[in-house]
Amino acid sequence: MAAYFSIVLVVVTLLTGIVWALDRWVFGKQRQAKLQIAQNAAQGELPEEVSSQLLKEPGWIENCKSVFPVLLVVLILRSFLYEPFQIPSGSMKPTLLVGDFILVEKFAYGLKDPIFNDTLIPTGQPKRGDIIVFKYPRNPKLDYIKRVVGLPGDKVIYKDKQLTIVPKCEQDKCPAPIKVTRELLAQGQFHERGYPLDTYQEQLGKVSHRILINPYLADNPSTYFQQDGTDSTEFIVPDGEYFAMGDNRDNSEDSRYWGFVPAHNLVGRAVAVWISFEFNHSANSWLPSWVPTGVRFNRIGAIH
């Protein structure tokens, strides 16, 4: 849906911009010429209402000129600066909750054209721990949001719910493996499919964040994305691609299951929650499920 909106926004902005330009340099001058001919025929100034009528823009031109500046500002903001997204699932709990509306910094990883997502001006690359929005590699019409775990060249190991990262060797120097540390914060604060979840504080490189683990649900490496020559719990990140995981580790369809995120698919970096709605409907509630039941003002702010 977001991809179609981008295309429609670009096309409508382009069309209204063409009308604006034609009126400024063609149609407007034609109306001025008609006014001058009428004044010459009358051998003097025409009544104000007659002059106004001759200079009056057709309704469709007036409407296009009115909406073009607004559309242009929206296009620039949405395509190159910040774009709003809604969190539709719980795969990033507890960092992001269903009902969070976030702002994505579009220029974090390069200025891209709004239709083909090709990089026009490179501005940076994802860092380990960044929360990224990207086009789902198996269906680019869908936008996914996950946390960057593996960088190009890394070996990512996820075994028995423990994350280990072996960084890429640089100039014959191979850094020691990074065993991502975590500290138990709470038990049963969140639930998933009837199971109480453990909340941990995880240290991923320089980034500290919370994750959820279901201690009652065993890993199933047989369902993981398989690479030739690697163990089922190991993933070697190709150049120009990234390994992304959800913070809700046992309820996230991420790189463990479908592979890697190409740099071309990156949309931007999630930076803030600008509004957050609750959807706690009781069994006998008459409200539709999409109608919010409250606002979580305490969640508004930067994302960590």
C-alpha–C-alpha distance, residues 161 and 148, integer Å = 17
Peptide bond into 58 cis (omega under 30): no
91 is catalytic: yes
User: Which of 6, 79, 91, 276 does the annotation list as catalytic?
Assistant: 91
- Phi and psi of 231, rounded to 5°? -70, 160
Give ∠ CA 147-242-235 in degrees, rounded to 5: 100
Catalytic residue among 106, 112, 146, 255: 146
Whether 208 sits among the annotated catalytic residues: the reply is no
**Residues designated as active site:** 91, 146
